[in-house]
Structure 1
Amino acid sequence: MKNALKCSLLSLGLLIAGNASAQLPTLASCTRSANLLACIDAEGNAYSVNTVGNTLYLRGFEKIGQRYWAQTNSRFGQLTFFTGVASDGEAWVGYTRRVGWTTINRFSSSGGSSAKFTCSRIVGC
């Protein structure tokens, strides 16, 4: 999968890690309200994250692929399931499981991509 899933997983990781309120100008320029985080990066990619209870709604635009995408994340304790779709018809599903300071992530997409990777607050992904 292209940058859409990477952006959505990274934004989810930032929210899980509790760092969404910190702005990193070299990565993206963000605006935040009580429930909404909206960002645009130096390459022109844009995304927003809206929180409603235990559900996150992500929407974005991928500059290189010129496509829009949307993803919904539903959290149940330490487990988060996500599904997404892009304007070119690609769809994806996956989950993130939090174990202490580590997240175990797995996804697959209709475009043929799939992966399992682990991220840590200390080491990264």
Structure 2
Amino acid sequence: MRIVLKLALLSVAPLLTINAWAQIPSLAKCTRSANLLVCADADGNAYSVNTVGSTIYLRGFEKTGKRYWAQTNSRYGQLTFFTGIASDGEAWVGYNRRVGWTTINRFSSSGGSSAKFTCSRIAGC
């Protein structure tokens, strides 16, 4: 779940102004090329996002858990499936489905976590 929240922050980061950046020093600093985005935050976490067609490859390192992780997202129209694995053996699967301005999200992990939640552009999650 921490991964999903970090990626959500990444999608919001471009909307922040320079003044807001100065007020929120814990946001990740990123470097971007045509298909690759590499980020690191002040807490020592690092992650990358690589886009190849409709597939997105995510890789990262979580400092608190001292674990590496990888996730692959495949998009088919309004439906995105994802699978991931971490260096401690945890694996997860899930999907996101867009319906208008609403996103229906569901995931399950081998660590026992699972959730289904709905997010709206207006009301949030």
Q: Which amino acid aligns with 1:4?
A: I
Kindly indicate whether residue 58 of structure 2 is the aligned counterpart of residue 58 of structure 1: yes
Give the ranges of 4+ consecutive aligned residues of structure 1 lying more than 6 Å apart after TM superposition.
none
2:95 aligned residue: 95
More helix by share: 2
Q: Say which one has the larger Rg.
A: 2
| Structure 2 match to 1:114 | 114
Fraction of identical pairs, as percent:
77
SS at match of 1:48: strand
Q: Secondary structure at the match of 2:43?
A: coil
Deviation at 1:123, TM superposition (A): 2.6
Q: Which has the higher contact order (CA 8 A, sep 6+)?
A: 1
Offset at residue 23 of structure 1 (A): 7.0
In structure 2, distance between residues paired with 1:70 and 1:5: 12
Provide the residue aligned with 1:82 in structure 2: 82
CA distance in 1, matches of 2:47, 2:122: 25
Per the TM alignment, residue 28 of structure 1 is displaced from its structure 2 partner at its CA by: 1.4
Q: Once structures 1 and 2 are overlaid, which stretch shifts more, 89-98 or 32-41?
A: 32-41
Q: Structure 1's 45 and 23: CA in aligned 2 closer, same or farther, altered over 3 A?
A: farther
> How far apart are the structure 1 equivalents of 2:123 and 2:39?
24
Aligned position for 1:68:
68
Bigger mean CA offset, 114-123 vs 92-101: 114-123
| Count of residues in Structure 1 that have an aligned counterpart in Structure 2 | 117
Q: Which runs of 5+ in 1 are unaligned?
A: none
Other-structure match for 1:123: 123
| Residue type at the aligned position of 2:65 | G
Partner of 2:32: 32
Q: Secondary structure at the match of 2:6?
A: helix
Q: Whole-Å Cα distance in 2 between the matches of residues 47 and 121 of structure 1?
A: 25
- The offset of 1:31, in angstroms, is 1.3
Give the TM-score of the pair, scaled to structure 1.
0.83
Q: CA RMSD in A?
A: 2.0
Pair 29,23 (structure 1): closer, same or farther in 2 beyond 3 Å: farther
Deviation at 1:7, TM superposition (A): 2.8
